[in-house]
A and B are shown apart, each in its own frame.
Chain A
Amino acid sequence: MLKKLFDKHFHYWIILPSIFLLAFVVVYPTFNLFYTSLFMKNGQLGITRFVGLQNYQKLLFEDSKFWPYLAHTFIYVGSAVTISLILGLIISNILNKAIKFRGALRTMMLLPWMIPLVLTGITWRWIMQDIYGAFNAILMQLGIIDQSIAWLTEANSAMASVITADFWANTPFVTIILLAGLQSIPDQLYEAANVDGANGWQKFWHITLPLLKPSIFVALVMRTLFAIRALDIVYALTGGGPGSSTEVLASYIYNLGRRWLRMGYGSAVGVILLLITIMLVFLFMYILKPESVKE
């Protein structure tokens, strides 16, 4: 009897523990985030005052930081995610083939991801540094430049350094997801294509890519989620500088909420970031239409 009941509601039984756990963390903080964003709440002054949607009004129409920081966020997330996705796609396809020392190569490919992020940031900072940085040393020894360049002191090169450090650290993650996805593509499809005389590119384009869509979607969304909130690398590498050229919304929220204690305003930025993230994810769903979310 019990067994039968278990079988009948099987789908609920195996899902409940997870949902229960997650609900515990999701419900209250989310509610709290929206709620706080309606207040002027300043921890420094000890003020909490209901202001309705004023925080949003201020944020969207008066704040001179919000739009530039949003733009930086898009540049940073857009480039870092795109590059790591393309690299991951290529590398996972290569490393999935019969290749000598495949295990060793895969391990080497994985290494950057294993280095603690704090160390990644601080090492890249050292590498990109003027005068005694390793990158300048290489370029000079190869004769590409003859005077060391202060990469972290100009807006564009600082942003490029941050993006590089980010996809250096995170491409392995994309590669792993895609590599796992590649395993589920049946060999028969390739065998059939071989019979039809398809070349490598055609097989990639017509078999691998479409069948890999669910994994690409997962990798894309997860990378975006992480990049959009990442501060470790930005903070260790540039501290948001020079000027405010590498400040992103995540660092703005961090500063507002945790350092400057403008909790209400910080929550409003948090809500906006949450909405942007949700919109992005739905956009990806719409474009990729992966089976994994389409019922």
Chain B
Amino acid sequence: MKKLSVLLIVVSLMVVFSFNVMAQDYAEEITIYNSGGLEHDPATAKDIERFEKEYGVTVNVVEVPWQYQIDKLTTVFSSKSSQVDAFVGSYFMLTNFAMPKWLEPIPFTEEEEKRFSPGVLAASTYKGVTYGAPRMMKDTQLYYRTDLLKEAGLEVPKTWDDLVKVAKALTKDTDGDGNIDQYGFGYLGADKLGFTFRTFLYQSGGEMFDESLNPVFNSSAGVKALTFMSDLVNKHKVTPKGIISMGEGNVGDLFISGKLASVASVPPLHERILSSDLKDKASIALAPSGDVTNTTYLDGNVIFVSSFSKKKDTAIAFAKFMSNYQSSLHELVVEGNNSPNPHVFSDPEVTEKFPEKWVKVLEESVKDVKAENYPFYLQVEQTLRQEIQNALNGTKTPEKALDDAAKAIDELYSNVLGI
């Protein structure tokens, strides 16, 4: 008995010891791919510097244009190259890279998992394995012009019906030349149409897929969501038609140039507002809620570790570091990106920088976010985007568009996955 316990102690000491040695035995340098130039990501730059200092590891950053990040990583991974150790990617890339086993699971401890809002953690997980370390997130809020609302004596819309009413009142011809030059409401279009649709879908109680991966976004909830999006453009005419071809940046441009009185957009916009002429004329509120929930869809940046990396331990340490409290705090304070970690909102640095109301809205909004991970995300997304555009420009009815999308996706799954 005594012998056994001594043995146990020795073994456990050895384990602890070797674990410690291993934990401190980091590689000298790792290479990470960042989406876009680092000076657009001052918070990322700052955290990388901290990591280098604390861990004594040199981090080589390769800046990849964001639209081409997936393509470039695909080339690197297809050739089984160990060139990349970790990369700053997006939640939506997860299945694309996890399915072919190009990603290394990130073994968060229970303690570490508690950092994150449950919706965000679920978005970083595929088939029960966590692959991503959430760094920041983009979820939908309502950005609106306080001056215009006040002038018209209107309240901030809380539901879809309110939104239509307010938007109608704010859509007008301000200079009297017969053309509308101020629209009441806008949402993110083009490549972000799927993003926008999912928020409306979740809000009306729908889901993208059921448990056995059948597409269910063409349910009545889905039709309701897409009909709402289409009505805003075609029936109520409070959203400019051009939105169909405008992504996050373009719609932001419209808001900043004063052509939109309100817009459902994501937190980087509030950083843009703060550095523009609209600084004192705009505010932020929770996205107007649908009949069922006020859940919003989430995307954003997450750190992934390559399974081809020869320095996995260091890369995993890096991923964990880049998603810790300090890192999320920096993303919020330095870049204005919403934090997957709800604890940072009470940090003095946050309350000092942002108006109290903004912080409250962001904090509230993080609590109710959702994203589903399903196979062939990119291909599903393209089909969905195409059909949403068909519905919005009147080529198809919302029902037909969603049914066609569901059919195409069903075919894809049964053809390729055999389900």
Contact = CB atoms under 8 A, between A and B. Distances in A.
Give yes or no for direct A-B contact (beta carbon below 8 Å). Answer: yes
A243 B395 contact: yes
Interface in A125-167: 129-133, 140, 146-148, 150, 152-155, 158
B343 to A, nearest CB: 36
Nearest to A254: B71
Given A44-B376, A241-B190, A243-B386, A259 B245 contact: no
Interface in B385-411: 385-387, 389-390, 392-393, 395, 408
Nearest to A140: B179
Contacts of B417: 45
B414 interface: no
Given A132-B254, A241-B386, A153 B244 contact: yes
B393 A242 contact: yes
A5 to B, nearest CB: 44
B162 interface: no
Contact of B99 (A45, A148, A259, A262): A45
A243 B245 CA distance: 10
B248 interface: no
A102 interface: no
B74 A153 contact: no
B71 A238 contact: no
A261 interface: yes
A130 B100 contact: no
A34 interface: no
B240 interface: yes
Contacts of A244: 386
A238 B247 CA distance: 11
A131 B178 contact: no
A238 B193 CA distance: 13
Contact of B389 (A64, A241, A258): A241
Contact of B253 (A43, A132, A140): A132
Interface in B77-125: 78, 96, 99-101
A154 B233 CA distance: 14
Interface hub of A46, A243, A260 (most chain B Cβ within 10 A): A243
A153 B240 CA distance: 11
A129 B382 contact: no
Contacts of B180: 147
A258 B246 contact: no
Contact of A259 (B71, B178, B250, B375): B71
Nearest to A237: B245
Nearest to B253: A132
B179 A148 contact: yes
Contact of A129 (B78, B245, B376): B245
Contact of B393 (A42, A43, A153, A262): A153
B103 to A, nearest CB: 12
Interface string B186-197: 000011000000
B190 A260 contact: no
A130 B240 contact: yes
Contacts of B245: 129-130, 150, 152-153, 158, 238-239, 241-242
B379 interface: yes
A255 interface: yes
Contact of B390 (A240, A243, A258): A243
Interface of B: 70-71, 74-75, 78, 96, 99-101, 177-180, 183, 190-191, 240-246, 250, 253-254, 257, 259, 375-376, 378-379, 382, 385-387, 389-390, 392-393, 395, 408, 416-417
15 contacts: A43-B78, A130-B240, A130-B246, A131-B254, A147-B179, A148-B179, A148-B242, A152-B242, A152-B245, A239-B190, A241-B245, A242-B245, A243-B393, A259-B378, A261-B74
Interface of A: 42-46, 64, 129-133, 140, 146-148, 150, 152-155, 158, 238-244, 255, 258-262
Given A152-B245, A242-B393, 16 more contacts: A43-B78, A46-B100, A46-B101, A64-B408, A130-B240, A147-B180, A150-B241, A153-B241, A241-B244, A242-B244, A242-B392, A243-B386, A243-B387, A243-B389, A255-B378, A258-B75
